[in-house]
Structure 1
């Protein structure tokens, strides 16, 4: 198989060559002939995957045969896999439904990306994600120290993995395992940023070259699941913000790297242990803790049935694609030693803390009044008012540098967004959506 993209013009050109060789001078490779040819032969248009086509199946088979020997002496709980992925944390797809008589104009597209490194064991133990951004201390962090974040945050100018960051991460994992008295086996791909280093409690094993798309557990659905859950949170956020008549492109620009970090952390926690176990089993790792089927559904943990109707609706109406397709938008984004381009995110994030100076503080003399107001059973609080209070609490935590408070507030934000999505999950006419929102 040559793995060259086959387009309509290419088929027509080859058909004309065949006709010339056969002496058929009256043949014309018209558009109608092409459509009939494709339909008659059941040929459809598809997208080629990133690397899977170049994998040598014999090499993968030989690798799986060696796995039991490589893993000998290590319990499943001590066998880990780590991989990085790029994430366009502010972006979404550019397709959208619209009325024919209206112009489909979009805003400036954000190319801001971060690198996310995920590591998990055969039994489903998940290490905190490593997130790599451009800025050492983004303004949206406020006074929160980076070591207090729920992820390990590092930075460089390209927001990708390099050898120094990888060494630092490996040494931190080695120290953690040393404290726990564990000897672990860590499987990595042979990326340029992955060094060959000797550690005390972590033994590194590299996958064969050009086989990671089939031999690496993280590539079998774990990273895809995390991204799908991240996009779910992103769409819920967009849905909530557009209820306040905000422009879609502005909503995306207001997503900060702090939001992305907490969405990543929440998505990582939501991934089922069984999903990780199945992905390891699919790559040939013997599951001694639980018998697993050889045929594993790659999307076992990303069923759209648990996604609110309003979110699925937003996926199609705002993005123009199915919900699962959102995961693929940055699937092949480079994570190391590859040319990237982007806009300095600080240009967009600078406005996040502008309103801190105007934050409302409760005067001590008003304490009784505040208590009486809160105790009033007849006074109702709208969803918009509740979300506004949550936003002020978030700013307060950032101003005071309260990392634990911020963690709880970000979890509370997810509950607010989920509640709003449930409120708006009732079926409505598509005309109503376009009448109220301008994308």
Structure 2
């Protein structure tokens, strides 16, 4: 038998390249062959990528903190030419982003017939560190907006002087003005709204529900959700949820301040100037307490044209097109698909408690929706957020890849659709049924239908309940949730929601 081949040891730089290569879509087997290592080694590198990225960062920091002899690399000519190009751009006050540096370096490598050079994120990180380039010197916060302007989308939109808040009066009117600004990565935020039909199921009524919601007719079936986070992903604001004025039964006496979201009401469940101004005022107050100056990217919509002279720690910038925003690059989709998985699991768990599908759907209330939204938002990782900012053109100097989608959850969701005999709508279409619905009213003088009351549980639990199945356990938890809401006991409600989520998960697995 031939002797076992000696295991090849990869350097930290090579391991980072392995992570990037797998993240680009190549299979682990092909990457293992490319680096002449075993597939097991590649799997171990991917499993420990967070630790490796941290180690790589510390290595770069240490190398910068101690003097060392400069060694010329095979790519030194490309590095020097790229640096020269960078200084020329900055001397002309032209925008430079991380992606632009990578593109220029690749162009120079092709001119030099250097086929081995790869302008990876690891190369970019090292290049910026080595030459003392920091974000505040890379004055283009988002090259994608500059490119959109150059292609005829027009200047960056800002409110007119009559509606511009005092804190925003110095906002630039063009992208070329904007690139002179400087902000730390942790102080750049994106706020975005989306509509969720929180009771929608993939049945014959889904299409009409979507159409009616566009006009604000089904105000009690929809909620507007506002999500906000910073570029590094380590700061996620509490979700803002806007619903129709709630009836007493909606919250069963629970104070809305005790929800895991910021709850607001509006007749059509729309975002309005007043509601955005209220949210912005609270966000500004938080930044003031922390002594920070922040940049907030929002959609250029009528509901965001506020006039508040007290906003001084937050500067607003408007996107020329909503789809350019970072949170539109996968975060909204992920939150919505996660929410619908919770919804399907809940309906499956309640199918023995109600006689019809209509009753099952109407038993889902805004308390459920708020908790599921919060769970879905909390599941979003820093890695996912950073990747989406990168995709939007921001110069995030960090090697990262999108988190892998959990197809097992999709498979379980599809199984639930089959069990409940939903036909005619694919799982993907169900996930995205309300993706493009408006978040603010575009119809003047439109009156929403009055809020409808949610059905409440009618039977009290027996004195000595006997639980023989997950379905029976779910029924008792529903009553416990109602009891906690009526007593305004947040601790019990939080615990009940956690138990409910676990029961639904077990029911979904059992029926898979």
Give the TM-score of the pair, scaled to structure 2. 0.58
- 1:386 corresponds to 2:473: yes
- 5 Å-filtered alignment, 1:181-192, equals 181-192=291-302
State how 1:366-405 maps to structure 2 within 5 Å.
Answer: 381-405=468-492
CA deviation string 1:134-188 (max 9, x = no partner)? 1155422122111111100011111101111110000010111122222211001
Contact 2:260 2:374 in 1 (8 A): yes
Q: How far apart in 1 are the matches of 2:238 and 2:272?
A: 19
Listed one character per residue, the Cα deviations across residues 377-410 of structure 1 (whole Å, up to 9, x for unaligned) are xx87432332222122112101211123212211
Tell me how far 1:88 sits from its aligned partner.
1.0
Aligned residue number for residue 190 of structure 2:
81
Distance 1:411 1:305 in 2: 23
Q: 1:246 to 1:360 in 2, by over 3 A?
A: closer
2:422 is paired with a residue whose SS is helix
CA contact (8 A) 2:325 2:392 kept: yes
> Is the CA contact (8 Å cut-off) linking 1:142 and 1:398 kept in structure 2?
yes
271, 274, 288: which is aligned to 1:161?
A: 271
Which of these residues, 151, 161, 173, is aligned with residue 58 of structure 1?
Answer: 151
User: Are the equivalent residues in 2 in contact too, given 1:183–1:202 (CA < 8 A)?
Assistant: yes
Distance 2:375 2:488 in 1: 21
Work out whether 1:346 is the aligned partner of 2:439.
no
Please tell me whether residue 133 in structure 1 is matched to residue 237 in structure 2: no
In the alignment, which of 348, 366, 369 is matched to residue 257 of structure 1? 366
Normalised to the residue count of structure 1, the TM-score between the two structures is 0.68
Structure 2: 5+ residue runs without aligned partners?
1-147, 157-173, 206-211
Unaligned stretches of 5+ residues in structure 1 = 1-54, 97-108, 363-369, 374-378, 426-439
The question of whether the paired residues in 1 share the 8 Å contact of 2:247 and 2:451 is answered with no
Equivalent residues in 2 for 1:411-430, closer than 5 Å = 411-425=498-512
Q: Report the secondary structure of 1:193's partner residue.
A: helix
- In the TM superposition, 1:259-274 aligns within 5 A as 259-274=368-383
1:359 offset after TM fit, Å? 3.3
Identify the residue that residue 307 of structure 1 maps to in structure 2. 409
Q: Are 1:359 and 2:486 counterparts? A: no
Cα-to-partner distance string for 1:49-94 (whole Å, 9 max, x where unaligned): xxxxxx878257997x959954843221111001111111111222
Q: CA deviation at 1:306?
A: 3.0
SS of the aligned residue for 2:509 comes to helix
Distance (whole Å) between structure 1 residues aligned to residue 303 and residue 247 of structure 2: 23
Is the Cα contact below 8 Å between 2:273 and 2:306 reproduced in 1?
Answer: no
Q: Which has the higher contact order (CA 8 A, sep 6+)?
A: 1
Whole-Å Cα distance in 1 between the matches of residues 191 and 440 of structure 2? 15
Structure 1 residue 328 displacement after superposition: 1.8
Pairs within 5 Å for 1:135-154: 135-136=245-246, 138-154=248-264
Q: Secondary structure at the match of 1:132?
A: strand
- Is contact 1:239–1:311 with CA below 8 Å preserved after alignment? no
Q: 1:225 aligns with which of 301, 318, 334?
A: 334
Distance 1:271 1:174, change over 3 A: same
Q: Conserved in 1, the CA contact under 8 Å of 2:203 and 2:425?
A: no
Give the superposition deviation at 1:337: 2.3
- Superposed CA RMSD: 3.1
Whether contact under 8 Å (1:115, 1:132) holds in the other structure is yes
Out of 156, 163, 173, which is 2:283 matched to? Answer: 173
